[in-house]
């Protein structure tokens, strides 16, 4: 673990980055996915697909904000975008088909 030099912390962004410097850049990535998991688990009564969709969407919105601050990597956003695309494609192709004749 790296030592934190608190004399360099002068702004809110520097204060938020100190968690990443002491955890090799993984703290805010882990916190983003913890938020996604908690939101997804709390929405399971509305359906697994809906819970996954909403959790990925809210995680993507939070992730964009954290990415703008330079706290998470673009790979984390890619995982959430991939999750959204997966659930959308799954919902489109698993919906019941009707026979129009």
User: Residue 50 is encoded by which pair of tokens?
Assistant: 């809906």
Residues 6+ apart with CB under 8 A from 73: 25, 29, 67
Q: For residue 11, what pLDDT band results from cuts at 50, 70 and 90? A: confident
pLDDT at 48: 92
Q: How far is CA 20 from the centre of its chain?
A: 16
The domain of 62 spans 11-92
Neighbour-count burial of 52, counting CB atoms closer than 10 A to its CB (0-12 exposed, 13-18 middle, 19+ buried) = buried
pLDDT at 56: 94
Residue 97 lies in a domain: no
Name the pTM for this structure: 0.78
Phi, psi angle pair for 56, to nearest 5°:
-65, -40
**Number of structural domains the chain divides into:** 1
Residue 4 lies in a domain: no
Task: Give the chain's mean pLDDT.
Answer: 86
């Amino acid at each position: 673990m790296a030592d934190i030099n608190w004399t360099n912390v002068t702004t809110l962004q520097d204060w938020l980055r100190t968690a990443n410097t002491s955890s090799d850049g993984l703290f805010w990535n882990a916190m983003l996915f913890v938020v996604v998991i908690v939101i997804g688990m709390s929405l399971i009564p509305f359906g697994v697909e809906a819970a996954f969709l909403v959790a990925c969407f809210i995680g993507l919105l939070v992730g964009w904000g954290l990415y703008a601050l330079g706290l998470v990597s673009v790979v984390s956003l890619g995982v959430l975008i991939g999750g959204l695309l997966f659930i959308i494609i799954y919902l489109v192709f698993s919906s019941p088909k009707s026979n129009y004749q």
